[in-house]
Homo-oligomer: A and B are copies of this chain.
Amino acid sequence: MDLHQRLRSRGYRLTPQRELVLEAVSSLGHATPEDALGWIRERSGGVNISTVYRTLELLEELGLVKHTHLSHGAPTYHAAAAPEHVHLVCRPCGKVIELEPRVVSPLVDTLQDDVGFAADVGHLTVFGQCAECSR
């Protein structure tokens, strides 16, 4: 865990709250700020929701977590340490499917070559309808 080093090298401090938030996101895989808070409450005394927001922002700045938008509402965070993946969200049933970024590499290459756009694959979410819901 290099959380401590990353924090210290920028003058930030290591606190139990910061460890907990990162652990929550890592364990949950996908977590909204509210999800992370719930996870933390189940095992320790709890952390204030505003601290969760501040910490997620900080962890993202440090490159330890990333976020996407899997629904209309809250953003969803996941650990940057997790293998990078693309999200498919089925609108009818709400299911979230993760895929290897390989499936979008043709698209990424096209965007780079045609318009010089560097796509952020880890942030990509494709909405649509899954196989079951299409029947």
| Chain A residues near B (Cβ < 8 Å) | 69, 72, 75, 88, 90-91, 97, 99, 103-104, 106-107, 110-111, 114-120, 123-124, 126-131, 134
Contact = CB atoms under 8 A, between A and B. Distances in A.
In the assembly, how many copies of this chain are there?
2
A127 B123 contact: yes
Given A103-B110, A117-B131, A123-B127, 20 more contacts: A69-B69, A69-B72, A88-B111, A88-B115, A91-B120, A99-B114, A103-B107, A104-B107, A106-B107, A107-B126, A111-B126, A111-B128, A115-B131, A116-B131, A117-B126, A117-B129, A117-B130, A118-B129, A119-B127, A120-B127
16 contacts: A69-B72, A90-B117, A91-B120, A97-B115, A97-B117, A99-B111, A99-B115, A103-B111, A106-B106, A116-B134, A117-B126, A118-B134, A119-B126, A120-B126, A120-B127, A120-B128
